[in-house]
Structure 1
């Protein structure tokens, strides 16, 4: 591939970052805002970095319409650290039960961590038996813990490995026990569509999908929960304590300053193109084009996820041979030829195989057009 060709990065994360953001960061790399040094060199206690942090939070709040009674915390350890932090900060006590809705690999890992810390876990629904293809049983069959005994309800809004996006609709929320805090891992679809923050007690997201580079995790939490539901039997590690983080404006120690700076640039970029309304429409167009290509391939390409649960962010599919079976040979050929055309990071997760195209906010529609065009060519050449 020549140097002037475009590369379309379909990585599930760390993921593609908007080109205007990268270009601006490049311009500002050596001398941010005429201060004479790089953001990477700024003290996190300096007025310069405090202005970066303040502006990033302000824009983030505006994009998601975050109410004033919610805190925004910038934490470390990725979303995985929050599997533990949620238990430490929100379980309340070991007499309480935590309800988990399992739709893929990452919620499964969250359950394992909660149990490892001694929490009593009730798995309300689990799609493991169907290979996490999104086929949830009817909500009417879910057995939630009674509100008086429940610590929280936890789910992942978008499972990157299996390509399952939870149907975030009114029917779901109206079925939940009243008054029980809802915790959501939104790492891979935050800022991809409009959401009602008030329906959640706590939302967290690793940055490396739609927010920015790896290294920072953003947490949105209702203020009344901070420090009030701590499990007295567990000593919270300092870096996982929401109260300490909030009291120190996310700067108890040195935060990932450069990741926060890039996140702030991403927020500005998203606002410049029309905010959530514009990006949601774009994401729907992009994913529809890819799903339509799969549907019109006469079974050559097949998506394992049930309709109604298919992700707009991570789209897995398999390639089937003449014997009616998924063909690793064809998939290997597809990946090699796609890479030759500048389409990279399309290999499915090692636990499920196949192909996976991640279409996060920063993936241009042109990249999806390139992929679907190649898919049609590849099918004609290999049926």
Structure 2
């Protein structure tokens, strides 16, 4: 392997590759928020109309069935998943699949917090996927569609039975607006605004199938339910939640930003166009990896590689057997890229193997990603040379 790589002559226009909050849409500026209903109650006619617009645009762009309910909830995707776990689990056994940090969080909730006795946990290391065929259609299923911190996704929903008796609870935060989600297979689906459309944090989305709504009214959780998780009042579903009457006070500035992102998505061609942009970024990264000796995808199979969360590992023979040395080099590389202002927030997630993570969602320009990866190659060789000197 060559000890050096050329320093790129050009710099990225948009160096933001954080996996959340993510790069704003192309052409975004603060002027996009001028229509925000500021200084008004979110329960005013105008405030509720803005929240309802988010719900309606979401349904339109993602082709969510009319009989599925869509709600805006507190606490980002985490809050939405917790709401589902605390409000729906218990009546049946549950199978939970985990292969990265957030999936492990849901395992912890089910095992340590809710203490569900009838549970089965299927886990895999970073870069791998558990055997999804072990899912039992008689039981509830909890899983992450796209592992943001591992770059590993489920290839499709074929492993979920159409005639299942249990519910599926899907954390889809970095898959929504980037991948096809088979709604007939999903009973609870969650995400946050801060991912594929580059929205602001703190707010989550939850989509419930008719089967999930039925569970809500038929099942009374045996544990105390915090107010923020309650979707039922006096035995009835809180219908206001699904027309823009949020449980707590949302930021109407963040709501306006979400509307801006949704309108952009709709106007460029909806989900097909968003997917095309994500796929172009992934293909660019895959081409770069194919000609880069020291680097590979963290995901060990092509069919499970994320097209939004591009996670890379170091396979340099000089460093491959020394995780501490890998971590030292990776840290130095991320710092150098930030210093050069060409790629920000690209270090691997703190619990993942040493390496790099580049967000490749729809708001990221392919030319910027390609250039950032060339800078990554240069910075890696610089750091490697210094560490091995």
Q: Same fold (TM over 0.5)?
A: yes
Describe the shift of the 1:98–1:50 C-alpha distance in structure 2 as closer, same or farther (beyond 3 A).
same
Q: Distance in 1 between matches of 2:250 and 2:336?
A: 41
Aligned length: 357
8 Å contact 2:16–2:345 — kept in the other structure? yes
DSSP-derived class of the 1:120 partner: coil
Q: Give the structure 1 partner of residue 282 of structure 2.
A: 287
Instruction: Identify which range, 339-348 or 238-247, moves more after superposition.
Output: 238-247
Q: Give the structure 2 partner of residue 123 of structure 1.
A: 120
Q: Distance in 2 between matches of 1:283 and 1:192?
A: 6
Shift of 1:297: 1.2
Describe the shift of the 1:229–1:126 C-alpha distance in structure 2 as closer, same or farther (beyond 3 A).
farther
Q: Give the structure 2 partner of residue 196 of structure 1.
A: 182
In the TM superposition, what are the counterparts of 1:107-146 in structure 2 within 5 Å? 107-115=103-111, 116-123=113-120, 125-127=122-124, 131-137=125-131, 139-140=132-133, 142=134, 144=136
Shift of 1:277: 0.7
8 Å contact 2:81–2:171 — kept in the other structure? no
In the TM superposition, what are the counterparts of 1:49-68 in structure 2 within 5 Å? 49-68=47-66
1:338-373 Cα offsets, whole Å, 9 max, x none, are 220421111111122321111122111121121133
The normalised TM-score by structure 1 is 0.84
Q: Distance in 1 between matches of 2:150 and 2:66?
A: 35
Unaligned runs of 5+ in 1: 33-37
Q: Give the structure 2 partner of residue 35 of structure 1.
A: none
Describe the shift of the 1:231–1:58 C-alpha distance in structure 2 as closer, same or farther (beyond 3 A).
same
1:155-201 Cα offsets, whole Å, 9 max, x none, are 1011111111111243x234x76232211001112111222222211
1:306 paired to 2:303: no
Q: Distance in 1 between matches of 2:12 and 2:192?
A: 30
Q: Give the structure 2 partner of residue 347 of structure 1.
A: 347
The normalised TM-score by structure 2 is 0.83
RMSD: 2.5
1:29-62 Cα offsets, whole Å, 9 max, x none, are xxx3xxxxx5332221222222212222111100
8 Å contact 1:163–1:310 — kept in the other structure? yes
Q: Distance in 2 between matches of 1:200 and 1:155?
A: 11
Q: Give the structure 2 partner of residue 323 of structure 1.
A: 318
Describe the shift of the 1:191–1:121 C-alpha distance in structure 2 as closer, same or farther (beyond 3 A).
farther
Shift of 1:374: 2.2
Describe the shift of the 1:236–1:371 C-alpha distance in structure 2 as closer, same or farther (beyond 3 A).
same
Q: Distance in 1 between matches of 2:381 and 2:28?
A: 38
